[in-house]
Chain A
């Protein structure tokens, strides 16, 4: 029978695309498997990792089981060594058409955001970009809304079904929207790196993982680009996602961006952290994009997040509001950032920032 994306009853199982670069699986894959596990349990179905590459290391494939996968589809072919849109789209679409998963999650990396829409277009299904929260269970979704929205959940009707409810910031991050794809399968979503938390590795589960080799049908004529080289950036990129402390700067540094970033660096140094930035500062070219926190940047949950001159647009809050302790300095007492802050100081970051650095230095010195 022909493949039909509207035959929703024919689709079963949750899939996660596990992106590898140079044979190493990206952290996003583990994060999505951890999240996918919960969805698969709520649906009562299998969770599968999908791994594409050349000479795929089976130890890595097994490891995906330790993060939740019941089964790993291995698509091993010389033409899958490095990413090309053409090859990866063909192999994934062939596999979806054969196995028919109901949910398909892809990390929203630069590659995932190239691949996801192409796959969704070929399969004739919907795709929701850059999700920050996923649910299938209505009660769990309602519990999520109770803590994250102003909706009167108990007096609002909800359709009771197991469709994937995909939540993301909308309109430049000024609103949140939950998107569904009720009539087409698979329900596809890309998810920002760092948004979902990786669960602890389970060695026993890893040993039980079923590895299934896929018969890949791929030919050089399927690929219409010629990958000449992949160059790693010489500059060491800032590791925002792994940092315990992030000191971030926003529009408030605009009067003197060089000094503003310097103040943030000094404060980050005494706290053992790294410098982050809001979208406005990255867009203005004051700092490189790897520093960007927020919906279109990175999602962080450090122990301490210091916001210097950041007003707190939803798009920024989406990337940092789950930080354990948020300290904000802003001239505007009404800035939304204060609403999510643990501690706030109404003042000029150019004055308060250095004083904070000095106070911390003094504190550390007093502790020897």
Chain B
């Protein structure tokens, strides 16, 4: 049995974000990390592998060649095989076009009876949460998103799906697609032996021509910017609002002054 985990290398948007003069993000100037939710997906796959030794964990990513560093880390954590899909043609993709490319790659790896595809719920650079469900649709598989617990026994898969006000317990047929959130687990670190082994494990890179025969690709018009139904119309930074009142000091008198202003204006 196989578990295919989709992972993405993302700019670390929690730190300083570099913005170019034209208003787009300067990715080259920013540190990159493995997308956090994706690491929860990988950890879940590795945990299933621990109790089911016949499981093979494959990681797949779409991104520029330096994405290899993240994939090697996934191998060092315990994944068995890595696949990088990388070509200029795939660049600038929205979620529709991204899911075309990833679906093509996943089908080339092969989804067989009993397999599971896992993704993070969303990537921190886009926050859309759309690629997982769109891969599921294109693979023709059932999906469960926002997964916070997985029970896998004898080929039976039961998961817990988070709602805003509770959760659902769902038994899902396999093969299927699950998208994972951070409540699911704590991702492991790379092990020393894992780091030693990660360059010996199977690593495959596919370019545009390697996937062109997929029914999801076929032509350059179906991937990347050209294959994206959505386009950026304008991007902008919010203006500085008319500055409010900065109060002098930070002591008891300051607080009393603020409260008296709020009182005068009937705000409190």
Contacts and interface: CB of A to CB of B under 8 A. Distances in A.
A151 interface: yes
B contact face: mostly helix, strand, loop, or mixed: mixed
B169 A314 contact: no
A88 B19 CA distance: 40
Interface string B159-185: 001111111111111001000001000
A241 to B, nearest CB: 11
Interface string B226-268: 0011111111111111011111011110111011111100011
Given A174-B19, A280-B14, A326-B244, A317 B229 contact: no
A120 B96 CA distance: 8
A145 B236 contact: yes
A178 interface: yes
Contacts of A113: 129-130, 145
A212 interface: no
A229 B240 contact: no
Interface stretch (A39-47, A180-188, A195-203): A180-188
Nearest to B124: A172
B162 A85 contact: no
Contacts of A126: 94, 96, 228-230
A176 B234 CA distance: 8
B25 interface: yes
Interface stretch (A49-57, A256-264, A341-349): A341-349
B247 A343 contact: yes
A10 interface: no
Interface magnitude class on chain B: 35 or more
B235 A177 contact: yes
B134 A110 contact: no
Contacts of A339: 240-241, 243
B172 A225 contact: yes
A100 interface: no
B66 interface: no
B142 A85 contact: yes
A280 B15 CA distance: 11
B128 interface: yes
B258 to A, nearest CB: 6
A345 B237 contact: no
B163 A111 contact: yes
B20 to A, nearest CB: 10
Contacts of B133: 85, 114, 117-118, 121
Contacts of A150: 236-239
B214 interface: no
Interface in A101-137: 109-111, 113-114, 116-118, 120-122, 124-130
A138 B46 CA distance: 51
Nearest to B158: A228
Interface in A211-261: 224-233, 237
A191 to B, nearest CB: 13
B136 interface: yes
Nearest to A82: B168
A180 B259 contact: no
Q: Nearest 4 A-B pairs (CB), nearest first? A: A347-B250, A172-B13, A126-B229, A126-B230
Interface of B: 11, 13-14, 17, 19, 23-25, 94-96, 99, 124-134, 136-138, 141-146, 158, 161-173, 176, 182, 228-241, 243-247, 249-252, 254-256, 258-263, 267-268
15 contacts: A85-B133, A85-B142, A121-B137, A130-B128, A150-B236, A171-B17, A180-B230, A225-B171, A226-B170, A230-B163, A231-B166, A304-B267, A314-B238, A356-B255, A359-B255
Given A232-B166, A338-B246, 6 more contacts: A120-B96, A121-B138, A148-B238, A175-B235, A345-B249, A355-B255
